[in-house]
Chain A
Amino acid sequence: MSQRYLLALYNNFDEAEAVVKELRTADIKGFNAANDMVVKSPIEHPEVEEFIGNKPVYVQWFTLLGASLGGFLAFWLISGSQANFYAQMKGGKPIVPFPPNFVLTYEMFILGGVYITVLGFLILSGLPARRSPLYSAKVSEDQIGVLVKGDEGSVPKLREIFTKHKALEIQEEAGR
């Protein structure tokens, strides 16, 4: 059965919330609210996470990985290069001196943390991405979009729910 996409635009978060809640409880054949529904909003709105259901965020694991790798690599690379470069003393200090190496380790710790966190962000949020089949510029302005994917048979029901909650506009397109 071919898939259809539906995008409904709403004026405010309350309406969108009502729709999402109804869609989640509604039993529509060929439509799975957990996977087939996306809320698009112009601002970051923590309540969206509540009403769309708990979806975990894993960015912090990338952070942990990046920061610890950065720090570890920094210390080993720096100490290693010091142990091979001339092996000549400078200023009577040890050839592998701890205080400077800790300073550099600290910087690399942050560098690794930031880089890998952002990399994780791109991976986890699926960016860079092609635009999804249905997109309205209104979403980046002031409206909240609810994008659903469902079997052809579920479209009328979905439309009905959308209209019930005063959708400003409903777009439909065949899935790929």
Chain B
Amino acid sequence: MSVSNLLENWSKFRHTHPVEDKGHPDWEAYPSDIKWAMAIDLDACTGCNACSVACYAENNLPVVGKEKYSHGQAMHWMRIERYWDESESGFEVDQGARFLPMMCQQCEAAPCETVCPVGATNHTEDGLNSQIYNRCIGSRYCSANCPYKVRYFNWYDYPTTKDVWPSPMNEQLNPDLSVRSKGVMEKCTFCKQRTYVARNNAKTEGRPVQDGDVQTACQEACPAGAITFGNLYDPESKVAQKWQHQQVELTKEKQDKDKTEGNRLRGYRILEELRPYPSVMYLERVRESAV
């Protein structure tokens, strides 16, 4: 059976992604018309951390406390990175920090997926990088190979740890997703529990998913509206329009616009040159000095 399946679908099994199947993937493992993507406008970001807090609340992230945080064992799926301008006298504080909200970039060709020994992390049909907690054995190779270091490991059994969710905080845990126990890797899912509800609702109503059907927790919480989220394959969606306007193409590791000098477009993807094809576009006139 496996052999006949192998022979029948040979050319499909030898297909690469996203370079060979540009745009819509062309075979049954990818039946979906959805490719979730994001655009984050850093010029609008004020670094208020609301997105991070919202993420903690939405995704049952354990609050590890000061000591473990300083050990680097924090679980912030959505983190706000601060960068300071550097001058000869040291860091320039006058101008303030530049902020960068960083979460899993949901790479189309994710470095973490290939290295998992048990296949606990896969590319899903709606263009996400999934993490199967039940399957994870905690080898942490995915994190080792992640260029953005956005994967977080459960170093302790947080649900049973004191003061992670002190009563009555445990009452507000989100029932739509699990509370992870020790020894598994986790990361941003683009609020999978929400996107699935949106897809199911649309299916029930017999219509495609529309722009605005679903918002991620961080997007919802952002007071500046810096985060745009939606279906990249829907040309009407805001996120697709932003990507198009910024001339950032999902399947390219070098954008054509960067070849033309003096373009004023602000869109870029982080560490594009490593060819993970991330699904998050950032918008900012890049200041070399601030990185």
- Direct A/B contact, Cβ within 8 angstroms: yes
Binding site for B on A (CB under 8 A): 76, 79-96
Cβ contact within 8 Å between B29 and A88: yes
Contact of B108 among A84, A85, A86, A92 (CB under 8 A): A92
B252 within 8 A of A: no
Q: Is the CB of A76 within 8 A of B3?
A: yes
**B22 at the A interface (CB under 8 A):** no
B residues apposed to A, CB below 8 Å: 1-3, 5-6, 9-10, 12-19, 29, 108-116, 119, 121-124, 277
- Contact among B18, B29, B115 for A87, CB-based, below 8 A: B29
Tell me, rounded to whole Å, the shortest Cβ–Cβ distance linking B158 to chain A.
Answer: 28
Contact A94 B5 (CB under 8 A): no
Chain A residues with CB below 8 A from B15, complex form: 94-95
Closest A-B pairs by Cβ, 7 of them? A92-B109, A80-B2, A91-B114, A90-B113, A92-B17, A83-B6, A91-B113
| Distance to closest chain A CB from B109 (angstroms) | 3
- Residues from chain B with Cβ under 8 Å of A84 in the complex: 1-2, 5
Nearest Cβ in chain A — how far from B136, in angstroms?
14
Please state if A83 and B16 are interface contacts (CB–CB under 8 Å).
no
Return chain B residues, CB-CB under 8 Å to A76: 3
Q: Which residues of A contact B114 (CB under 8 A)?
A: 90-91, 93
Most B-side CB within 10 Å, residue of A76, A89, A90: A89
Is there an interface contact between B122 and A88, defined as CB atoms closer than 8 Å?
Answer: yes
Q: Are A92 and B16 in contact (CB under 8 A)?
A: yes
Q: Are A95 and B13 in contact (CB under 8 A)?
A: yes
CA distance A76 to B26 in the complex (A): 26
Docked pose: A79 CA to B5 CA in angstroms? 10
Q: Contact at A86–B6, with CB atoms within 8 Å? A: no
Closest residue of B by beta carbon distance from A100: B114
CB contact under 8 A between A89 and B119, given known A82-B13, A83-B13:
no
- Please name all residues of chain B whose beta carbon is closer than 8 Å to the beta carbon of A79 when the two chains form the complex: 6
Which A residues lie within 8 Å of B112 (CB)? 91
Report Cα–Cα, A94/B20, bound state, in Å.
10
* Contacts A86-B119, A87-B29, A88-B123; A93 near B2 (Cβ below 8 A): no
CA distance A89 to B25 in the complex (A): 11
| B29→A89 contact, CB < 8 A | yes
Given contacts A91-B111, A92-B17, contact A81 B119 (CB under 8 A): no
